Amino acid sequence: MLNKIVVLCATSLLAGCGQAPATDNVSAEASPEAVTVAARDFTNVDALGAMEAIQNIDNLVVLDVRTPEEFADGHIDGAININFYDDDFREQLEALDKSVPYLLHCRSGNRSNKALKIMRALGFQKVIHLDGGILAWNEAGLPLTQ
């Protein structure tokens, strides 16, 4: 009986060993390799990494989840705006193409981190999150459009 228990425990342990934990690739320093990895996964980048992604990733969609008023005060050129506070926010995300890469941001990172979780649950494949949001973008001296 004891042998059966030992074999069962060993089998259970070995079955779990082959699976790597699912983790985000977090890049504080953007490089071409980091941006390439970011385009295949979910990752956080700083403002310079976000700019590099915009410049180097084909079909990248910049998704701004701030309010329309915040968006009108200044946004990243070419960004689309979906208000995180809209009652149908999840449905608006669901209507987007989940196979294209996205650069996601809000004002400081709070709303966009919540949106990132929703996008993950909806099956988006490639999302780059601007850590620190538009505030970090401004601090880096990067341009905004009105």
* Active-site amino acid positions: 106
Beta strands in the chain (DSSP E): 25-26, 42-45, 61-64, 80-81, 102-105, 127-130
CA–CA gap between residue 141 and residue 114 (Å, rounded): 26
Give the whole-angstrom CA distance, residue 49 versus residue 29. 7
Residues whose CB is less than 8 angstroms from the CB of residue 83 and which lie 6 or more positions away in sequence, other chains included: 65, 66, 67, 68, 89
Total residue count of the chain as it appears in this document: 146
**Residue 72 identity:** A
